[in-house]
Amino acid sequence: MPHFIVEYTDNIKEEANLAKLLEEIHRVLIARAPVFPIGGIRSRAIELKDYRVADGAEDDAFVHAVLKIGAGRSEEMKQEVCHTLFKVMKEHFSILMSKRYLALSMELIEFSEVGTYKQNNIHTRFE
């Protein structure tokens, strides 16, 4: 962990440069190792083809991100990393937002280790 999942409307695919956004997100999370172990960082972008925004009258777009983390980080760390990640998102999409209607949002999901199953040998590269 953490996992950063971005959903975005297909009407911004050409301009959104999601690969660059995910690279920027990884930089933020890697800078906070070992709070977020590097070998556990994952990100993905999911293009949405079926959606409706507001009243449907415009070609509105949205980007919604979810940061999923395991329990155990301090409230200060969670707040700081979420603030920083959302700032990255706002900066990344600032030009696009100046050209069109666009809604940005992000949420944090923190879960306990109970009910979570994982196996990962990538961590050994960073030990």
Strand, helix or coil for residue 7: strand
Q: In whole angstroms, give the CA distance from residue 23 to residue 41.
A: 11
Is the dihedral angle over the CA atoms 22, 27, 33, 37 positive or is it negative?
positive
Q: Give dist(CA 43, CA 25) in Å, integer.
A: 8
Which residue is catalytic, options 1, 2, 11, 85? Answer: 2
Q: Which two tokens stand for residue 19?
A: 């690969």
Based on the residue annotation, tell me whether 34 is a catalytic residue of this protein.
no
Catalytic residues: 2
